[in-house]
Amino acid sequence: MAINNTTLQIKFKQRLNKLASNDYDNIECWQIVEAFNKAQVEWCRRNLHGNNMFKEGDEASKRRIDDLQPLLNRLVLTGINNADHFEGNNFPGDYLEYKRVSINATNDCCTTERSMTVYLAEEANVDLIMRDPLKRPDFEWGETFCTMQQNTVRIYHRDFNVVSPVLTYYRRPRMIEIMGCTDPYTQAASAADVTCEFKDDVVELLIDEAVAIIAGDIDYVQQQMRGTQSSERNN
């Protein structure tokens, strides 16, 4: 059975209270939501980059592929073909991490579409790559490159036309919401429950991470308060 938001809150408070029985009695639902959603993004980035205890990225193990699979999206890019590159104009608003760009290509001598290998390059290196006969876009070799800057995908071409460009990317995880919980920043109350989309074993890990986040925040505030009180007594 999937972990719903009621169970999530109970588990969250139980684990907080194991750290200190009285310090976290007044924890509010918005703090749980904020910490959990922050933990989701941090966990995703860490596992996508390989910055974890196993130093594994998104495809280093079957388990990691399974865990991240819900976030994988494909988007057919629309845009404009310029003299030396295709420039997309529909960058996804939920983008988190690059996976790959795939295209087909045609040229004047070959109207049958062929698949091209596209590698990601830095925008600062475009001129160097375009001048390098071993790295520049080449229809016969079936290779080209793309860049990403300011939420724009550019796919470079030289002797061919870009056809059917597709961006495969990891989207941001769905943010949880607790029905009736009021956001202190906007004063808006959530109209419905939005649960975590990950499997239960991942949710358990995320609860642990969120607990660590909120415990650290509260400890910091308490330290600041103790420091202020000490200064006031000394004065």
DSSP conformation letters of the chain: ----HHHHHHHHHHHHHHH-TTTTTT--HHHHHHHHHHHHHHHHHHHHHT-STT---TTSSHHHHHHHGGGEEEEE--EEE-SSEEEES---TTEEEEEEEEEEEE-SS--S-EEEEEEE--GGGHHHHHH-TTTS-BTTTTEEEEEEETTEEEEE-SSSEEEEEEEEEEEPPPPPB-TTPBPTTT-PBPSS-B---S-HHHHHHHHHHHHHHHHHHHHHHHHHHHHHHHHHHH-
Domain that holds residue 126: 73-171
Same domain, 167 and 93: yes
* Residue 220 falls inside a structural domain: no
How much is the pLDDT for 54? 46
Q: Tens digits of per-residue pLDDT, 112-160?
A: 999 999 999 999 999 999 999 999 999 999 999 999 999 999 999 998 9
How much is the pLDDT for 41? 95
How much is the pLDDT for 157? 96
How much is the pLDDT for 225? 37
pTM of the model: 0.81
Same domain, 90 and 151: yes
**Number of domains forming the structure of the chain:** 2
Same domain, 145 and 201: no
